[in-house]
A and B are shown apart, each in its own frame.
Chain A
Amino acid sequence: MTKIVSVHSFRGGTGKSNTTANLASLIAAQGLRVGVVDTDILSPGIHVLFGLEEDDMRKSLNDYLWGKCDIEEAAVDVTSRMSGQVKGKVYLIPSSMKAGEIGRVLREGCDVGLLNDGFQELSEKLKLDVLLIDTHPGLNEETLLSIAISNALVIIMRPDQQDYQGTSVTVEVARKLGVPRLMLVVNKVPQAFDFTAVKSRVEQTYRAEVAAVLPHSDEMMALASAGIFVLRYPTHPVTMELRRVVDRVLS
């Protein structure tokens, strides 16, 4: 059975897509088959990290939601773009980059039931071990659905007052949806912070597991969208921490 994992943050700019791409790579490096769905339809971006250009996308999640194709037709095997260190497979289901198509989602919304069917079909047809859902920030219907059907939810937050309140709302809502595993990742933490103190303070506040405290990394900023960090820096402390997240998610 496919393990469904949603990666979410209440606000944008937390490094959610970046973390999702890195987690996908680490899971696939273990020889597993991973699907990544970009449900951040209004501000898609994760495809860039996998080196996918707009022209490489034949179909997108949008086409599936509008009944133009089966969901697996929108899946792109991006494994070969990942510097050959990956034993498993990574399939990306991108959201459309076309302004007109993004606008249509804004106007019409999307059929949440169809999205759910799509997740199931995709898991089955591509024989996925893990399906990662890169969600839209905030708590819209698509995000709530993704959380509801997930086996695990990874919430990314920064040590920033603006993230605290929203994260607490997300945690409460996810609990009401009965997500079996809920964990927090504190990202972009300035090096001056005491990381152990950050971890225990966040755990105390949200009464939830903190799977990782990730430093603000100059290497990661420099790499930006030009590739997958964990593949480029396999022994970096950030990579080690992300491996811990994978262990927690898969355990």
Chain B
Amino acid sequence: MALEVQARVSRLKQEVAQLRIEIDEVKQAKQVAEIVETDYFQELQRKARKLRGQNDQQSEELPASAERIG
């Protein structure tokens, strides 16, 4: 009996250590679509691209102004 309990505990522990993460991909795709298909998100995405593009450009401009060494 004690052995059985011990075996069960060790099985449970193994299960815990393995940490099963279950994600419903169909549901996930639907949840993501509900957000990214809104007008607000599209506009935000466009602005974010522009904003990050500007930052990239600024950092790219630095080496460019240094006579494009190499």
Residues of chain A having any CB pair with chain B under 8 Å: 139, 141, 144-145, 148-149, 159, 161, 164-165, 168-169, 172-173, 176-178, 180, 190, 192-194, 197-198, 201-202, 205
> What does the 1/0 interface line of B35-59 toward A look like (CB < 8 Å)?
1100011001101110110000000
A173 x B35 contact (CB < 8 A): yes
| CA–CA, A149 and B24, complex, Å | 29
| CA–CA, A172 and B30, complex, Å | 12
A164 x B23 contact (CB < 8 A): yes
A201: which B residues are within 8 A, CB to CB?
18-19, 21
Q: Which one of B16, B40, B44, B47 lies within 8 Å of A193 (CB-CB)?
A: B16
| CA–CA, A161 and B20, complex, Å | 9
B44 x A194 contact (CB < 8 A): no
| CA–CA, A86 and B32, complex, Å | 41
Q: Which one of B22, B24, B40 lies within 8 Å of A141 (CB-CB)?
A: B40
- B17 on the A face (CB < 8 A): yes
B51 x A149 contact (CB < 8 A): yes
B47 x A148 contact (CB < 8 A): yes
A197 x B18 contact (CB < 8 A): yes
The smallest beta-carbon distance between B32 and chain A, in angstroms, is 5
A165 x B41 contact (CB < 8 A): no
For chain B, residues 2 to 21, give those with C-beta under 8 angstroms from any C-beta of chain A.
13, 16-19, 21
| CA–CA, A205 and B32, complex, Å | 17
Report how many residues on chain B are interfacial, defined by Cβ distance under 8 Å: 24
A149 x B48 contact (CB < 8 A): yes
A198 x B41 contact (CB < 8 A): no
Having A169-B32, A173-B36, one finds 7 other A-B pairs with CB under 8 Å, namely A159-B19, A165-B24, A169-B35, A197-B17, A197-B19, A201-B18, A201-B19
- B65 on the A face (CB < 8 A): no
| CA–CA, A87 and B28, complex, Å | 44
B17 x A194 contact (CB < 8 A): yes
Chain B residue at minimal CB-CB distance from A145: B44
- B27 on the A face (CB < 8 A): yes
A205: which B residues are within 8 A, CB to CB?
21, 23
A161: which B residues are within 8 A, CB to CB?
22
A165 x B28 contact (CB < 8 A): yes
The 4 lowest CB-CB distance pairs between A and B, nearest first, are: A148-B48, A194-B17, A169-B31, A205-B21
